[in-house]
Amino acid sequence: MNRFDLIHSHGTYGLANRDRIELNRDRRIESRALNATMASSLNCLYNEGFLSMEVQLKGQNLQNLLCFIAIFALGHQLPRVWPKSSLE
C-alpha cells in the first residue's frame, strides 16, 4: 500500500501530520549534513591558503557563498585521490 492509499483509507489529518513531522526531520538531517560538508570544505580552503580573510555577509548571500565554496572545495579535493606522480 502506498502513501496515497494510506491517506485515503485512514484519513488525511493524522497521516498528513505524521508526514509533516517526518519531512521536517529529514530536512534537519539534510541541513546538518550540508552544514558539515560546508564546514569541512571551508576548513580545507583555509588550510590550502584560499581563505585568508573573514567574510562578513548575512542571510542568503552568506548561504550562496558557502554553497559555492563547498562545491569548489569538493572539486578541489578530487585530484587527491590519484597518486601525486600521475598528476605531474
- Please check the confidence at residue 26 and state whether its pLDDT lies above 50: yes
Residue 71, number of CB atoms within 10 A of its CB: 13
Domain count, the chain: 1
Q: pLDDT tens, 45-86?
A: 667 666 554 554 455 666 677 777 777 766 655 555 444 444
Q: What is the pLDDT of residue 55?
A: 52
Q: Work out the number of other CB atoms within 10 angstroms of the CB of residue 10.
A: 11
The pTM of the full predicted model, rounded to 2 decimals, is 0.36
Look up the domain containing 52 and give its range. 3-87
Between 6 and 36, the higher pLDDT residue: 36
